[in-house]
Amino acid sequence: MAGMELLSDEGFRIDGRRPNELRRIQCRMGVFAQADGSAYIEHGNTKVLAAVYGPHDIQGSKGRAAVHDIAFINCQYSMATFSTGERKQRPRGDRKSQEMTHHLKQTFDGAILTHLYPHSQIDIYVEVLQSDGGNYCASVNAATLALIDAGIPMKDYVCACSASFIDETPLMDINYTEESSATPQLIVSILPKSEHLVFVEMNSRLHEDQLSRVLDIAVKGCSDIYHILDRAVKEHLMEASIPLSSDT
């Protein structure tokens, strides 16, 4: 990647965005009829599908790991073979997917009101259809929409955004090229109303002095995403509830 200019002299990034701009986000809720809740989201060229099942009785060997006075959150993250530039078979046990699954579980354990559903399990399935950086962020945002679609009580939305630091400039919502060029990467997910951090991850090295600036731009990205998701939910809800609201 030597010689590649990630931030031009004019202050534009490789895909033409300014440092504090998100990629275009498009989303749809209720894409599947069979799942209890589902959603599709696009962050620029990253495309993710999420489906939520439950709450239902605990199934299979998961029962042993579950605590019985709260709901057990079962996540599964997978990437389609055609999602990356090079076609690659990724079985479910893939280390990277396992780690991502674990991160998603941590995130939603902190946001779903699990104490309302003892003895039960909530499944979150996330499939990355096209990967262009920020897979975790798109997965979290898609899963949030799917959970809302399924009517599962949450403290708040969960919104995730990544950030980087290139040429003394903090960058919001980085894409694959920026992600893979040995730059620091900070991934954050927050509960936007209270601005509580649910999940923070840092890859590569970043000087401590810059951390707060990068964190600020990531949190700003999360709250921008929140407004987009909120609008989508509002539209979906009004659409879905018109016949219902008239008879109550």
Can you tell me which of 156, 169, 181, 213 binds other proteins, judged by CB under 8 A?
156
Write the DSSP string, 161-229.
EEEEEETTEEEES--HHHHTSS--EEEEEEETTTTEEEEEEEES---HHHHHHHHHHHHHHHHHHHHHH
Q: Is residue 57 at the binding interface for other proteins, with CB under 8 A as the rule?
A: yes
Least distance between other proteins and beta carbon 54 (Å)? 9
The answer to whether 75 touches 101, Cβ cutoff 8 Å, is yes
| Contact positions with other proteins (CB under 8 A) in 69-98 | none
Q: Is residue 240 at the binding interface for other proteins, with CB under 8 A as the rule?
A: yes
Q: Is residue 66 at the binding interface for other proteins, with CB under 8 A as the rule?
A: no
Where does this chain touch other proteins (CB under 8 A) — which range of 75-83, 117-125, 131-139, 160-168?
117-125
Q: Is residue 28 at the binding interface for other proteins, with CB under 8 A as the rule?
A: no
Residues 6+ apart with CB under 8 A from 87: 81
Cα distance between residue 178 and residue 15, in whole Å: 10
Can you tell me which of 76, 78, 84, 120 binds other proteins, judged by CB under 8 A?
120
Q: Is residue 238 at the binding interface for other proteins, with CB under 8 A as the rule?
A: yes
Can you tell me which of 27, 49, 163, 191 binds other proteins, judged by CB under 8 A?
191
37-43 vs 46-57, strand pairing mode: antiparallel
Where does this chain touch other proteins (CB under 8 A) — which range of 38-46, 74-82, 118-126, 207-215?
118-126
Where does this chain touch other proteins (CB under 8 A) — which range of 1-9, 88-96, 125-133, 153-161?
153-161
Q: Is residue 7 at the binding interface for other proteins, with CB under 8 A as the rule?
A: no
